[in-house]
Chains A and B, each alone.
Chain A
Amino acid sequence: MGRNIDHLFIHPGMPADEESASVARLVRQWADREIVTRRMEYREGYHQLFAEKRRKLCIDIGLQKLTIPAELGGFGWNSPSRAPALLSLACETGRADASTGVLMASAWALFLLLAGRSDFPEEPCRSLAGLYSGEEVRTPAFVLTGPGTVGVETPLFLGRSIPALVRGAKTGFTLSGTGIRPLIAGGMADLFCVVCADGNGTPRVALVPADAEGVMRGSSVLMTGLNACGNAPIDLFAAPIPGANLLDREGAVEELYTWLNLLLGGVSAGAGVNFFEILADWSDSRVIKGGGTLKENPLCASVLADVAGEVALARLLLGELAGIVAARGEGAPGDVRRTYTYAGMIGQRVQEGVMRAMNRGLELMGSAGYAREWHVEKHWRDVKTIQSILCGVGAEAPVKMDTARFFYDCREI
């Protein structure tokens, strides 16, 4: 682990300000001291240590309130201009543990969505800020769009089924839907951030506390990776929400996807960096054909090059995306759709690239790569899980349709 990864993996879009750099250093220290250098201990007592380490990051270091506006008691990184700095933190966290990274990114994305504009609504920001800047670790879970069920017509967001419906009530709204699948953390979330459709079929975003009336959690779901983010489906039986908990501004769903593509891309790229570090150590010390080290064999070196190349390219692409998000600011609706399209394209390419890097790297490590002892298999499972849940449904088809719509003005696909 003696490599200087900052020197190896350049990040031209990274923020140069001292505040961002010092927070990134802090997270790097947390990752190295708490997890990366203690892999064996972490592996054996994962669930207990996960909670402990996550708490340290969220509460002791304070990253849970990073994107809460300063006037509401947070660190005030709620502006899109912070995208490059947030990306670097997502990478650092993902390098240590993807589950922690995804949960951290979810908390950031929640406030970026709610308070990412200068005219952000006082409610629900204030009440949620009160909760998320306290001493308890908080977990939001996102419900995005996904597959529908044959025979059941649903409102659509760019072809994808919207899983819940929001309806007006005497006071506020009610939220309904069954068998709804959060991306992750449905079994442990204290808040659900749900993409839903209003009476006109228009996509909206609603916030419903997990303990609200009419919210039922299903049985836990076992998943390939992100094993600390206990997931479960939910049913919403006309769950009441206050009026302020419905975000009805145009482009909110696109913004949410944009942030998640950027930040979860960062988590995967960070996992890719740690995968690279472990593989590099391996290739230094293992021999092939009874003599030379793996890295000095041209065929093995070409595999190692694929791994480094994919991770480096993923980071470069994400750096560009962070720049696009930061430059957009509070742009017009057309800008929102453009940024959304780029985020989808880059997000998909990043997840594919990191998965390719990991699949290639595992080839070189052979059985050792498959053993839990070396930890690379965990990164491999975690990133695959992120990739699949971000697809939502239909692999890359929906993102390709978004791309074709944007670039070719397709109207019927």
Chain B
Amino acid sequence: MTKVKVAMDWLAACAGCEMSVLDMDERLVQLLDKIELTSTPITDLKHPPKDGVTVGILSGAVNNTTNLEVVKEMRERCKILIALGDCAVFGGIMTMRNFFDMNEALRRAYIETESTVDGIIPSSEELSKPILTQPVNQIVKVDVYLPGCPPSADAIHHVLKELVEGRMPILTGENLKYD
């Protein structure tokens, strides 16, 4: 049986969702018989393969210009896109920044903080620019929503197992939580 190709990436995120993926423990090792990890933050391929993957997974909110590119590339290269975790699903804790003026927030971080000496706001062309924080579905179409901060390993396992077996996952009970 050919393995199901999966790609993952993170946006403005904390890596908690990725840790919850690892929290599948031995079940993750078993899943690896059925899925092939392509680009992920824990492997060394940097972008989803050009010829596409079946499942794309994004965690984190969109809050800078680099995130926009990552989201669009993932959508173009995957058949089924999963928004993993509260930040990807509805913006999550990252949206708290939206209640403040961006320049004031940057000034606090890089100039006014008590320990900062002679600060400046980083603005090199090498860096992405911050934008209003949004969930993934404000940029591209999302096929599967998996909320939680982070979603439990059980919920992630359920979703991946259903997809591997050719069904669209439905979340109910303990697997559907928003914290």
Partners in one complex: no
A residues neighboring B (CB under 8 Å): none
